[in-house]
Amino acid sequence: MSTEDQELPVFTTAADMRAWVRKQKKSGRKVALVPTMGYLHEGHLSLVKAAKEKADVVVASIYVNPTQFAAHEDFDVYPRNPAEDRDKLAAAGCHAVFEPDSLYVSVPGADGESSNVVGRESGHPGSHETFVTVERLQRPLCGGSRPHFFRGVCTVVTKLFHICEPDVAVFGRKDYQQWRVICRMVRDLDFPVEVVGMPICREPDGLAMSSRNARLSPESRERALCISRGLAWAEKAVAEGAVSEPADVAAQLRGRIEEAGGTVDYVELLHAHHLSPISDLTSQPVLLAVAAHFPARDRGTTHAANGHGSKNSQSV
């Protein structure tokens, strides 16, 4: 169903969303898509602004995608506020919102209720079982500790592309590996979509904007600043020649994060385009990618932000 009588149309089914987009395209309008998981901040809204410069019509999706969360991760406590999200999108000039209840076949769980777990993990013969993977690019960095993650990302983005049929899709480079993975998927599978990557948006103190920042305790939020400060140090140190070996940069930045109380997932310097290991800092474009965990304010769990504050990526 849709609520087209509202100022900002909100669509909850694939059929209605697709029909609306096709109507726009029939009128000769170019369509841009901004995929999000909601709980929007200025970083998301900057993507909407960029999308408006690339297309006539902007669609934003709001969907917390279960297939990119493992059972022990924060799907249930991921921050959500769809009503406020819609207001922000309307104010930003978005033209429509796709807000599905689910993008996967719903199957009963052990208690007879519909489950968020899909695919082979559900153990149900009628569950969704078709997934998209980018074999090499999804393995390093986030793929090391979260081997399920990019399978879920690529699958849901593929579904959004089929439903929303965008000419342009805009992603934030705060999730740098995700942007590269999506670019490769689009190239390899011949999607007629231009993928645009936009720079990280940061708070005034340097913390990368993130929906998950709301889960950080005040102390952890302050400590997480060691990442953006560490990235700035590394960029300056390399530019000035104070550090010349990739391993030395990684070791010193790792030490700074651990000294601040973070648990490092990875600190790696890789080729910025194909995410392969590098041996020097001068003969190719270099990505310095960092992921670290800091304590969350809820459930006493550990917070690991995807490219926001407690995980950032930056080219050096």
CB–CB of 255/227 below 8 Å?
Answer: no
Dihedral over Cα of 215, 67, 39, 211: its sign: positive
The whole-angstrom separation of Cα 250 and Cα 252 is 6
273 in catalytic set: no
Residues 101, 105, 107: CA angle, nearest 5 degrees: 100
Beta strands in 167-297 (DSSP E): 168-172, 194-198, 263-271, 286-295
79 Cβ contact partners less than 8 Å away, ≥ 6 residues apart: 38, 39, 211, 212, 214, 215
Q: What does the alpha-carbon distance between residue 48 and residue 27 come to, in Å, rounded to a whole number?
A: 21
Rg (CA), the chain: 20
Instruction: Give CA separation, 308 vs 71, 210, 224, 289, in Å.
Output: 21, 5, 10, 12
Which long-range CB contacts under 8 A does 70-73 form with residues at least 24 apart?
70/146, 70/148, 71/117, 71/121, 73/146
Distance CA 22, CA 110 (A): 40
Going by C-alpha positions, the residue among 63, 64, 32, 66 that lies closest to residue 48 is 32
And the tokens for 189? 């599978």
Active-site residue among 44, 95, 293, 303? 44
Q: Active-site residue numbers? A: 44
